[in-house]
Structure formats: C-alpha cells, structure tokens
Structure 1
Amino acid sequence: MTLSNQPERVSPAGVSGENSLSVDVCDADAVALQRYREDCAEAGFMPAQSPDWVSAWTRHAPHPSIIVRLCDGQAHLMSLALEVVEQGRFRIARFISNRHANGNFPALDLRVRDGLPETYLTKLRDGIRQARPEIDALVLERQLRQCNGQENPLLGWPHGDSPNVSLAVNLDGGFDAVLARSSGKRKRKQHRSQARKLEAAGKVERRLARSRAEAEEMLNAFFDMKAHRFSQMGIQDVFAPDAVKNAFRTLFGDAAETKETNFVLHGLEVAGKLRAVTGSSRIGDRLICEFSSIADDDLTDASPGRFLFYQNIEEACSEGLKIYDFSVGDEYYKRLWCDVETIQFDTFVPLTGKGRILAFGLSAAARAKHVINNDPRLWRVAKALRRRLGSAHG
C-alpha cells in the first residue's frame, strides 16, 4: 500500500491531514439510512452493503444495527453497516445479515482507490470504541480484497484468509466462449437431455419475479426446498428465522416492483410447479447467485437446478455481463462452470480486553477451518460428523 500521496487522493479541496478526520457511529434509523443511501450514490460497495439490502435487513433484524461513517472534513470516505449481537459472553459488531452476506466490501467513496493510511483505520477503530464501549470486537468476515478497481481499506487491519473459496465464471467472449472453456459439447448435450426429461412431465418455463406476489411465491418455494435439503444434510437451516425470511421478502419484493433493480429471482417451473429457484444480485458487470435450491421430487434426477443455472449464465452473457458469481462455497455443480477462484478475507479487530481473547480464538478457528476445507479427507470426515450431529439433534 502506498501512503505518501494518500491524503491528497481521499481529501476534498481545502481539507487534508488526519486532524480533519471524524467518525460518526449512530443507530441505523431512518435519518442514518437516508444519509447512507446518499453516501452510496458516490461510493463503491457490494450487494450486502448496498442501501436496499441494508434497509431491508435493518427493518426486520432482531439485533440493533449501526452505521459507522468515516469522514475527512465534510466529505464521506467510508461507511460500514453493522449489526451488534451477543456471542456467548461477548458482544460483537458484524456485517448486517451475517452468514447471508458474502463478498463483503464497505461503502467506499469512489475517490478512494488504494486503501487508507493506517492512521485513518486507527481513528476508525478508536471512534467505534469510544462511541460503543460495550462492543468487544469487530468480526468482519468474507470480504473482497478489491471491488471494481478499489482496494478494500480494511486490509490495513490484521486479517487472514476466509475458510471457504468463492467461485465464479468468466463470461468474456460470450456464451459460446464460456462453453468452449468448460466442456461445452457435453454441457449442450446434457442441457438438451434435461429439457426432454422436463418437457415430458409438462410445460417448462423459466420465470422472472415481476411482482411482489411472484417474489413471495418463489421465496416460499425456496424456503421449503432449503429447509428440506438442510434437514437431509443435518445442517442448521440459516433461512429458517422469520427475520431472515422477512428481510428477503422485503428486499426481493421491493425489487420485483422496481423497473431497474439489482436483485432478481428466477424460478424454473415444470408442470405448474417450481422445481428450482435462484436469488441473484447485480453489481456493475457482475451477477451474483446469492442463494439457490431445488425441489426433492420426481424430477430431481433431471437436474432442474443445473438446467436453470445454464439458462441464467446464458442470459448473463447475452446482457454483456463479465462475471457470473456463484459466491462462497465449493460445490460440484459450481466447479462444472467455474474458472475463477477468489479467496476472501476475515478481519477480527478487538476493542476491549475481552475482545482480544475472542479475536484470537476466531482467528485460530478460521485457520483450522481453512485447513479442513482444503483437505479432501478431513472435509469428508467433517461432513460425516456434521450429519451425525444434525441427526442426533433432529
């Protein structure tokens, strides 16, 4: 990171140096959310820190939410939308929506290209500590190192690799080029075979949610599919809480009634029933699959999920997008397409003495998970143990 010219690059005319820095930490009320939206008009960010996402989650989340704003004079530099939660005997601040937030990147003013000086981050940390002394640590996971040419300033804090890889597809050259790079002949043949199997059951239609009612229908189908799938795998259903469901209903319901939106739901309907659903966000030239699932029924063997992904990727290419992002998680169906791997990073910043203990433990746990996830033998053992534990508590 080059710091010598940084104050000039991030400060407006007539303002320079650290003495002009200020940190504002406030509850995410209507006034703060409106200011956050205005700041984001001249900032880069990823979907889970976008104004629409933040607004939907703060409306329904059971945890108090805060907006942290770093300014140079009157000029906005960076904001973080966080939720404050109890974690055992500790109180932490984390990205709003927790595990549903992936590829995180703060709302960063477009003038800030190469990160921020260490002294700016010290000011940010101390400002949060002074305003909210009850918070023991900042737990900021699954972050991108760069976003649309901007370096993530939080790389200036101690950090480590996230345990799980993020997978994506390079769409350069269009759909034919994508297929040429990923066993295209086989994919086309499989897609035609899947189409015949699905059409034998009835009318096949790929749907886009264009109203709140359609969004509700697709989300309800998705929640049911996911609950069944997680139960089979012995995994906690992270979509089960009402707060999570209602936040996504607000986010995608509002989006479905907006002409130009960054959040879309697609469903594959066969014989009048939804068999696969994807929820996606769009940022710049990137389409991100935030979640997906398939129905467990008589057509599961026809792979409706893979069929829908094929069409989603084909459409993304036709719209001139550059990346189709499957987000965090290493799955076989993603590997069939992906040629881009991204290792995100986690930041654990202690704010109190207790927080130092927590940050050390979280860092050690993340390193251990990274080792397990990257060792096929250990990962098989971990998945088997997870299923057994899930069955025991089921």
Structure 2
Amino acid sequence: MPMAAVIDGPAAAAPAACRIARVEIFSDMQAAEPIWRSLETSAHLFTPYQRFDLQAAWQIHIGASEGVRPLIVVAYDAANEPLLLLPLGLRQQRGMAVACYLGGKHITFNMPLWRRDFAAGAGKAEMDALLRGIQRHVTRVDVLALARQPQSWLGMANPLALLPSQAATNGCPVLRMTPGAAPGDRVSASMRKRLKTKERKYDSVTGYRYLQARSEADITRILDAFFAIKPLRMAEQNLPNVFAEPGVEAFIRDTCAAPRDGGHVIDLHALVCDEEVIAMFAGIADAGRFSMMFNTYTMSENAKYSPGLILMRTIIDTYAEHGVTSLDLGIGGDDYKRMFCKDDEPIFDSFLPLTGRGRLGALGLSSLAHAKRMVKQSPALTQMAQKLRGALQR
C-alpha cells in the first residue's frame, strides 16, 4: 500500500549520534556548483544522472521554462564537510509547493550524491534529520515527491530507502556482468549466433560499421538521424513525440556534445553505413554502470535484420571489456530489454509531506503512483490504457 510520512511541529534537535550537523539550501545552481563537483569523485556514491553538467543543462533548457526553481540541499557534518547533496527543484502543482528531483522524466534514476562512508552507516535518525533540516530552512515546501530511486547503487544501499516508500510504477531490468567472464555469460551463445547470422546481411552494405561518436561531425550526424526518425517510430506506436517538447532537443544536443572523461555527458553509439544511421542508442556511463536513455532505428530496408539488437550486443561487449559490471536499458519491462537483462533493479518512490497542507497532496500523489503501478502490472489494463492513449492522439 502507498506510504507517506509527515513531519509535525517545530524542527527538533538532531539526535546526538546523528552525523548531520546542519543543512544548507541553495536556490542557485551555480552557487552550489563547487560543492556539487567536489562530490563527483570515487569517494562518493551517485548515479551519473545526478552529475552537475547533466542537471544544469536540463534546468537551463527545460526546467526553467517549466517554472522549476532549483532547491539544492546540502547536509554537512560537524567539521563542515558535505555529507550529501540532494538535487531538487521546486514547482507549483495543484496549489502546492512540490519538490522533486531535477531532470523530470528525462532522468531514469534519482538519488543524492553521498559521501561513501556516510552512506554506508547512515540510519533512519539521520534521514529524519535531513527532512527536518529541509523543513527548517525552506519557507514552504509542502511535499517532497522523490520518484524513481534505486534501493541500491553499485552494491551500496541507498539511505533514502529508510524513509517511508512504495514500489515505483515500473522496475528496471538490469544485466549484471562479472569482470573477466566469458562473452557467453553476458549474451548467450544461441543469441550471439542468431545476431551474427543477421549481421552478415549487412556485409554487402557499403561502409557498415559500429561507431561510438567521438567527433562533432559524428555526434551531429547521429542526432540529426534520431530527431528525423524518432517521431515516425513514436507515431507508429500512437505515442506523443516527447522529444519535440520545448527545450528537449537543445538539452540532448548540448549534453551529447559536452566532454567528460574521454567521452561525453551522454554517449552515442550507432550502427552506420555510408548512406545512413541504421540504429542508435544514447546512454550515460559511469564507473561500473552504463544506463540507456533513448534509441531508434532506421525506417529503411536495413531495419529488417534487428539492428537494435545487434547494436545492443556490441554495446554490452564494449562496456564489459572496459570493466563495467552492470548495464540497464531503462525502466520498464519491454520484451527486448528482457532479452538481455535478466535481473531486476528495485526502484521506489517516496511522497513525504512537510506541512499539514501537504498531507492530502502526498496522499494523492502516492495513490496516483500506486494506481499506475497496478495498471502496468495488469496486461488487460495496460492494453486498455494503450487503446485510450491511441484514441486521444488521433
């Protein structure tokens, strides 16, 4: 059942054992940038979706136009060293001030940036102290709506899972990869054989090859193809073209071109030939993990031989050879994801009212998310929802 917590009364003093000494709120991302970047190291636990460059680009191109105001929460220890950074944005929703993770629907996973030693031993009292600190320092936030949070990341538990929560609308299929394992342990020998047979069909296609975009020209070519093809593919499924919404294309182009550690903030992978981009995947990489964000494939005859699956196998092998130990294709149980990803990443949501006014709002948000999950888990209800969505799109 949906769960929600409420903080009543004045902010109380944190327990003596609590390592959170104070909480600071930044309403300007540039002011928080030095602290934020200092937490993007191997001594900290975070998903690549919460890197400053990605989040700042989203706020510039999308968040600001949607009326989102940054609400960056930093908790410090007694030595004034940051323990965590929680990247939130404040928006008005049905008459309430709701704080959500920055990035909206364009971000797959949401989590604070944690100092590892703090995250390893953080308890419920410290999470409660974090909430009290937010309540104390913000004039008004009615509800914290913290969606799509992984219960753990790279083998370490997410301390926010200690707060009241509910299972997210969708889980996330994930592929676990053991360093040094044989390729058949990642993608089965039978599937490899089938995909190799399909890939031979491209032997006669001039210039056929796998490409990870490094140059500006390659990035532009792949994204131009994506923005031309994706609307057609989404129309086939009676889906709205979310990539045509204001600011989205600029956000994607900026982050795909922004350099980071030998790659880019968002990396592009493709199967190409001299004539066209046959298939592409865009994803975000970090030490130990690669996460898919968006993809498409050609409308031409070259689509007949499962280029998306061939590209996925190639990406898996590429990252495994570079020491990545887990890979996901995004939240949701699509059939093609299950072909590669046999495990599941538990994902949870928390709807936490901070004011009396926020009680009803948190309950409503929690109930709505719970209802969506019930629909997703029922094939009959899912089919009904798809038909309704298709009718509304006509």
Instruction: State how far apart, in whole Å, the 1-side matches of 2:135 and 2:105 are.
Output: 24
1:201 shift after superposition? 4.1
Code of the aligned partner of 1:251 = T
Q: C-alpha separation between the residues in 1 aligned to 2:388 and 2:20? A: 53
Post-superposition Cα deviations, 1:184-234, rounded to whole Å, max 9, x if no partner, equal 22x233323322333444331211111234323322322333222222222
Distance 1:317 1:152 in 2: 25
1:105 aligns with 2:111: yes
CA distance in 2, matches of 1:98, 1:303: 31
C-alpha separation in 1, matches of 2:212 and 2:122: 41
Percent identity over the alignment? 26
Change (3 A) 1:333 1:18: closer
Match of 2:187 in 1: 179
Going from structure 1 to structure 2, the CA distance change for 1:227 and 1:135 (only over 3 Å counts) comes to: farther
Aligned-residue offset at 1:346: 0.4
2-side partners of 1:377 and 1:222: how far apart?
32
Query: Which residue is 1:265 aligned to?
Result: 268
Where structure 2 has 5 or more consecutive residues not aligned to the other structure, the ranges are: 1-15
Count of residue pairs brought into register by the alignment: 371
Shift of 1:99: 1.2
CA shift in 2, pair 1:222/1:156, >3 Å: same
From 370, 375, 380, the equivalent of 2:378 is 375
Normalised TM-score (structure 1): 0.87
Partner Cα separation in structure 1 for residue 88 and residue 227 of structure 2: 25
Equivalent in the alignment of 1:360 = 363
1:292 to 292, 295, 306: 295
Residue 211 in structure 1 maps to residue 206 in structure 2: no
Superposed CA offset, 1:18-37 (max 9, x none):
49611111123323112211
- Between 1 and 2, higher relative CO (CA 8 Å, sep ≥ 6) is seen in 2
Question: Root-mean-square deviation (CA), in Å?
Answer: 2.2
For the 8 Å contact 1:84–1:92, the answer to whether it is kept is yes
> CA 1:302–1:344 in 2, change beyond 3 Å: closer, same or farther?
same
Partner residue, 1:29: 29
Q: Counterparts of 2:109 and 2:18 in 1: how far apart (Å)?
A: 29
1:117 is the counterpart of 2:123: yes
Which string of whole-angstrom CA distances, capped at 9 and with x for unpartnered residues, describes residues 6-50 of structure 1? Answer: xxxxxxxxxx74496111111233231122111333321001112
Counterpart CA distance in 2 for 1:137 and 1:208 is 41
Match for 2:353: what amino acid? P
SS at match of 1:299: helix
Residues 61-72 of structure 1: matches in 2 within 5 Å? 61-62=63-64, 63-72=68-77
TM-score by length of 2: 0.87
Change over 3 Å in CA distance of 1:388–1:208 after alignment to 2: same
Q: Is the 8 A contact 1:174 1:318 kept in 2?
A: no
Task: Provide the rounded CA distance (Å) in 2 between the counterparts of 1:343 and 1:330.
Answer: 13
- State the SS of the aligned residue for 2:170: strand
* 1:7 counterpart residue number: none
Query: Structure 2 vs 1, CA of residues 133 and 375 (structure 1 numbering), >3 Å: closer, same or farther?
Result: same
Q: Distance in 2 between matches of 1:374 and 1:298?
A: 35
